[in-house]
Structure 1
């Protein structure tokens, strides 16, 4: 893997992980445009490193929130932080079950079908469009809300469905405060990312990496910095009801992907 490729992939991962445009969908479109060998098999370690970088960027942005949660848990009391942690666990259940029992079926959707990716991007656009017009309330995320948002996260395992877009949009449509919706959306993915990394390590999938250390480091640093920028920016955009811009973008890209698939 070339250094420039690593930096470009780091930029794409860092921004699309948090912006509601589907990082997996863009990766599939990129492979279709650049050719099937654009992302080599050796890049499994690289992909894991990029996800680790964006998880760390989330921790940096929400470091105060995470510290408060940890302090609340260590107090061994039924407080706001303990309840929030339980909601995070509940939100993880749907995606964890789908990933564990239907991993091979999910992989079948990542076969380069840009028409499917385009259709899912249009679905993402619709979600963002409706969420941007939802009335903002001060309603906190409830336990039932957490599970429904978790279902949205599970659906977002499909290429073209934005994880951040679907979870934030679902939360807002349920009547949750937009700021709280963005906060919950970004924090709920951290355990899943670290869980996936742990699974890959235990399965031995990363035991024989061929990716050179310099491109690996460059990709990590780029994804980490871009992730911090995108995460911070996204929170502000959600609060200001600017999701419709991304809805238009996803609609245009989705329609182009479907049109190109028929030529």
Structure 2
């Protein structure tokens, strides 16, 4: 049963990390419904490995773009954009994990980051963002031509990623949508989002890496493989969704999912 749960959670992580529907929200809600809190010691380790599968998928899909950042010459501009965009979430995440006293960190984890209630409202917020992003606007900003105001405004995409630390708020959805609102072309908005994700997921994994020793090998392996496979599917899907301008339909889904989960927890309150 634990292996089956790990596969289910791996599939959910893989698809929802990249499709704009919030992996954190789905893992928190599904973890509660399955009777498994993802905030415990062993489950934190499981979550780290699930995210590692998604991290590896980004490396595979964007390997050529990543190589171009360092070869044949170091791309200072692109690294500057990624650093600026990653800074807000990094500051908040490190503050929570490393600087707050244990009691305060535990309160934030329990009452915010692992809260099914927050996840429900986060999904509804994601729905609104996805609908707003579908408005027609001129798209012209790329990694190559981002200069002046366009360069510094990428920090706003970073703020969107910071907000996505809340469960239910889609990291991919919020960052891609914010980039589109700032006139980034579709392909580069997707690339920016997932290269940021490479840093964010990798950084979070390093912080929690010590927890990996607290997990059973078989469920860990099953969850990791499921996460990797479904992450590859999710990455292919989000590229198509953005190009075909279908983000709003995921907004419909997240709105329904948020309301349905809220109704469920009102009838069956979480532990």
Question: What is the TM-score normalised by the length of structure 1?
Answer: 0.88
Tell me the distance in 2 between the aligned counterparts of 1:45 and 1:28: 15
Cα-to-partner distance string for 1:67-86 (whole Å, 9 max, x where unaligned): 111215xx35xxxx320111
Task: Report the equivalent of 2:208.
Answer: 200
1:53-202 map, 5 Å: 53-72=53-72, 75=73, 81-103=75-97, 104=105, 106-107=108-109, 108-114=111-117, 116-140=118-142, 142-201=150-209
Query: How large is the Cα RMSD of the aligned pairs?
Result: 2.0
Cα-to-partner distance string for 1:68-115 (whole Å, 9 max, x where unaligned): 11215xx35xxxx3201110011111001101113426413134343x
**SS of the counterpart of 2:140?**
coil
| Shift of residue 28, structure 1, vs aligned partner | 1.7
| Shift of residue 215, structure 1, vs aligned partner | 2.3
| Shift of residue 176, structure 1, vs aligned partner | 1.2
**SS of the counterpart of 2:199?**
helix
- Cα gap change, 1:38/1:156 in structure 2, threshold over 3 Å: closer, same or farther? closer
| Shift of residue 6, structure 1, vs aligned partner | 1.6
171-180 vs 192-201, which moves further: 192-201
Number of residue equivalences: 252
Task: Report the equivalent of 1:46.
Answer: 46
Structure 1: tracts of 5 or more residues without a match: none
CA contact (8 A) 1:118 1:160 kept: yes
148-157 vs 219-228, which moves further: 219-228
- Cα gap change, 1:183/1:29 in structure 2, threshold over 3 Å: closer, same or farther? same
| Shift of residue 62, structure 1, vs aligned partner | 0.7
Structure 2: tracts of 5 or more residues without a match: 98-104
Question: What is the TM-score normalised by the length of structure 2?
Answer: 0.86
| Shift of residue 136, structure 1, vs aligned partner | 4.6
| Shift of residue 17, structure 1, vs aligned partner | 0.6
| Shift of residue 134, structure 1, vs aligned partner | 3.3
Tell me the distance in 2 between the aligned counterparts of 1:83 and 1:209: 40
